Amino acid sequence: MSSALRRLLDAIPPPDEAAAGLARCHLDQLTKPRGSLGRLEELAVGLAALAGGPPRADHPVVFVLAADHGVAAEGVSAYPQVVTAQMLDNFRRGGAAINVLARQAGARVVVADFGVLGRRPPEAGLVERRLGPGTANFTRGPAMSRDQALSGIEAGAALVGQAARVGVDLVITGEMGIGNTTAASAIVAALSGAAPAAVTGRGTGVDDATWQRKIDVIGRALAVNRPDPRDPMDVLAKVGGFEIAGLVGVVLGGAARRLPVVLDGFIAGTAALLAVALAPAARHALFAAHRSTEPGHALVLARLGLRPYLELELRLGEGTGGALFVHLARAAARLYGEMATFKSAGVSESPEPPVATAEPPREGQT
Amino acid sequence: MSSALRRLLDAIPPPDEAAAGLARCHLDQLTKPRGSLGRLEELAVGLAALAGGPPRADHPVVFVLAADHGVAAEGVSAYPQVVTAQMLDNFRRGGAAINVLARQAGARVVVADFGVLGRRPPEAGLVERRLGPGTANFTRGPAMSRDQALSGIEAGAALVGQAARVGVDLVITGEMGIGNTTAASAIVAALSGAAPAAVTGRGTGVDDATWQRKIDVIGRALAVNRPDPRDPMDVLAKVGGFEIAGLVGVVLGGAARRLPVVLDGFIAGTAALLAVALAPAARHALFAAHRSTEPGHALVLARLGLRPYLELELRLGEGTGGALFVHLARAAARLYGEMATFKSAGVSESPEPPVATAEPPREGQT
């Protein structure tokens, strides 16, 4: 492992348990039955443990990392490969779903080219972090070199560093890349040992024949490359993607800076699985925005021990589910900060403590 | 049935199928795989069918109807009955959870006193629609007269009428009333024939002994009053509540004005069950914001044929889940209105239609 990666992994701190305990105590003073805000309370506590103080979600950023995939040549998508570049333009012009949802959520969108096919002139509104002109077709050999995978992780972490310096307090993982559900399924199969058919879905909406081909392609990729499940960098390099490498870096960089990292769908979840394999401490910074319809996503979330907040049957990617999650994070933060307490509002508390509490308040906290 | 109620029920129109079809067609032109926005697409279509044009969720209102319940004397809540009046003050001062979430969502809050114990001087920020000083204890006879139930429905519908005249385009049902989960469970047991234990939960968080007492109380209420399951007005009057009557009116009034009616939790869902029993056409105006932890709520949603959008284990009421839903409704409306089309963005469409489509576009629509 390179020393730069080692430094990044070692920089990830444990959660602030004192801040979490104080947050639980504060929530129990607010004018509502204890625990009655359900998962929003758990979310407020998780955000507080990262912030080391009151939960915040004021300045979110969505990282939309885009790259092309050599495996697209095997005919695994319903869309031609040129759509990756076309959608990059759509993101820049603000016409894609993630642009709309980010505007609604008051989130910045950072679109980064990690290796989209076709060179383009340096353009406003696009961050250049190209690792190459798309990955190699991983049915014939590794998708990228180990050095490229490492560069992708470092570039992703650096993007978070820049955002943190301008006050971002919530990081959302987004992506675009025709063929990238095939890469994600291959990664999950390699890491978990699950059969390719169990973790392969219909991506953008492929028909039965294409779905079967996708499963065969993943089986061939694993047979040809033999990625080592105990070595996440080996799995990433052999059957991953450039934008997935970047997202691994976004997750690690966010966790190192104590920022909440919101996972969008299957691709982002797969990147998080690699990140947590590299640095288990990154786990507490993660929030699963939603559960997509990709079958591999449920397995990823189970392995990460994350319960998604939204179940909207999204399967678009781009960070769309993550942008929707901002409203829930902000709701948790505002309820925490703005609700009256029983004392301030003159509302009677329950004479006996209700049953459904998570933990009794500790003495000496208010 | 009174002629006023008859007129209200007869005013509820069927959904606009042409607008729904046009909305589906428009969604399929947007730069995303067909159907990939999942339930947000279904939501956009539902809102379009009500609006008779593009979906909107710009001006939501939360009706928080409050009343007291005679059955509270049986000791069915973890909180003293005075909390209803205290929370009414908290709502007026903006310190309750619903105030915070409504501010976040840009929603107006209308707090209405439908019969809270203790008279209070006419106050700013509070709508007076008192049907009496709390309901009677329904373990000893009917909670209210049939005339009171009817007045409550008419008052609720009138509130929506006033809101519609100032441009409200989305109605959220909220409530407050110590003891009202007991009333809601009794209504659901009466309408469905389910055993009280199957539809009774822990409300604000009661202990085992109180939970058992609540079940016994509901059993006694049904034995004493024998509400007729084929007559929703009979059920409402005998084991309902003043704020529940008001919410039946809000649902019917919203549906009559083609406004989306967002159901919050168990109490609101129970009111909707009564409303749909009175006027089945009201069903298409309903959106279930979330599934609460009250066991009766799942049964209510199943009988209404509604799938909730959020699963956050909320059990607070007040309209809190409904206010969170506003962000999803607005996301659906904005995606519909702001996303680029394949044509406008110059993005290639899938050469063959993907499998996961709901319905092929009809000829002659664009």
At B363, is the pLDDT very low, low, confident or very high (cuts 50, 70, 90)? very low
* Range in A40-44, A79-83, A123-127, A309-313 with the lowest mean pLDDT: A123-127
The side-by-side arrangement of strands in the sheet containing B261-263 is B127-128, B108-113, B60-66, B170-176, B261-263, B286-288
Determine contact, residues A302/A279, Cβ cutoff 8 Å.
Answer: no
pLDDT at B364 over 80: no
pLDDT at A124 over 90: no
B234 alpha-carbon distance from chain centroid: 20
Q: Of chain B residues 316-345, which have a CB less than 8 A from chain A?
A: 316, 320, 324, 327-328, 330-331, 334-335, 338-340, 344-345
Determine contact, residues A116/A134, Cβ cutoff 8 Å.
Answer: yes
Q: Residues A175, A318, A352, A363: which is the catalytic one?
A: A318
- What chain B residue is nearest to A82 in terms of C-alpha separation? B348
Q: pLDDT (tens digit, 9 = 90+) per residue, A138-192?
A: 999 999 999 999 999 999 999 999 999 999 999 999 999 999 999 999 999 999 9
Residues of B in contact with A101 (CB under 8 A): 331, 334-335
The stretch A10-35 carries a mean pLDDT of 96
Query: What is the Cα–Cα distance from A41 to B98, expressed in whole angstroms?
Result: 15
Q: What ranges make up the beta strands (E) of chain B?
A: 60-66, 108-113, 127-128, 170-176, 261-263, 286-288
Residues of B in contact with A93 (CB under 8 A): 340, 345
DSSP line for A304-356? HT---SB-------TTHHHHHHHHHHHHHHHHHHHSPBHHHHTPPPPSS--S-
Asked if B316 and A37 come within 8 Å (Cβ–Cβ), the reply is yes
At A366, is the pLDDT very low, low, confident or very high (cuts 50, 70, 90)? very low
pLDDT at B354 over 70: no
Structure tokens at A127: 């961050």
Q: Residues B318, B349, B359, B363: which is the catalytic one?
A: B318
Q: Mean pLDDT, chain B, as a whole number?
A: 94
Interface check for A309 against chain B (CB to CB < 8 A): the answer is: yes
pLDDT of residue B122: 75
Nearest by CB to A207, which of B93, B310, B352? Answer: B352
A229 alpha-carbon distance from chain centroid: 21
Q: Which residue shows structure tokens 């070199």?
A: A145
Q: Mean pLDDT, chain A, as a whole number?
A: 94
The stretch B66-70 carries a mean pLDDT of 98
pLDDT at B356 over 60: no
Q: pLDDT (tens digit, 9 = 90+) per residue, B239-285?
A: 999 999 999 999 999 999 999 999 999 999 999 999 999 999 999 99
The stretch B167-176 carries a mean pLDDT of 98
At A361, is the pLDDT very low, low, confident or very high (cuts 50, 70, 90)? very low
pLDDT at B359 over 70: no
Query: What is the Cα–Cα distance from B328 to B315, expressed in whole angstroms?
Result: 20
Query: What is the Cα–Cα distance from B133 to A173, expressed in whole angstroms?
Result: 54
Determine contact, residues A66/A89, Cβ cutoff 8 Å.
Answer: no
pLDDT at B362 over 50: no
Residues of B in contact with A343 (CB under 8 A): none
pLDDT at B350 over 80: no
pLDDT of residue B351: 65
pLDDT of residue B355: 47
- What chain B residue is nearest to A350 in terms of C-alpha separation? B79
Q: pLDDT (tens digit, 9 = 90+) per residue, A199-241?
A: 999 988 889 999 999 999 999 999 999 999 999 999 999 999 9
Query: What is the Cα–Cα distance from B48 to B34, expressed in whole angstroms?
Result: 18
The stretch B172-187 carries a mean pLDDT of 98
Sign of CA dihedral A79, A85, A87, A90: negative
* Range in A14-23, B16-25, B120-129, B331-340 with the lowest mean pLDDT: B120-129
pLDDT of residue A363: 38
In Å, what is the CA distance from A169 to each residue of A4, A27, A110, A160, A164? 24, 21, 15, 10, 7
Q: pLDDT (tens digit, 9 = 90+) per residue, B235-246?
A: 999 999 999 999
Q: pLDDT (tens digit, 9 = 90+) per residue, B104-132?
A: 999 999 999 999 998 777 777 899 999 99
pLDDT at B360 over 60: no
Residues of B in contact with A209 (CB under 8 A): none
DSSP line for B259-276? --EEE-SHHHHHHHHHHH
Q: Which residues pair with A128 in a beta bridge?
A: A113
pLDDT at A193 over 50: yes
Residues of B in contact with A35 (CB under 8 A): 205
In Å, what is the CA distance from B3 to each residue of A287, B6, B10? 54, 5, 10
Query: What is the Cα–Cα distance from B177 to B197, expressed in whole angstroms?
Result: 21
What percentage of chain A carries pLDDT values higher than 90? 90
Sign of CA dihedral B178, B183, B184, B185: positive
DSSP state of B122: -
Assess whether A318 carries a catalytic annotation: yes
Query: What is the Cα–Cα distance from A282 to A5, expressed in whole angstroms?
Result: 14
Nearest by CB to A205, which of B79, B324, B356? Answer: B356
Interface check for A347 against chain B (CB to CB < 8 A): the answer is: yes
Q: Rounded to 5 degrees, what angle do the CA atoms B261, B265, B266 make?
A: 115
pLDDT of residue A67: 98
pLDDT of residue A351: 65
The stretch B165-182 carries a mean pLDDT of 97
Nearest by CB to A100, which of B96, B320, B334? Answer: B334
Provide the ipTM.
0.94
Structure tokens at B206: 């009661």
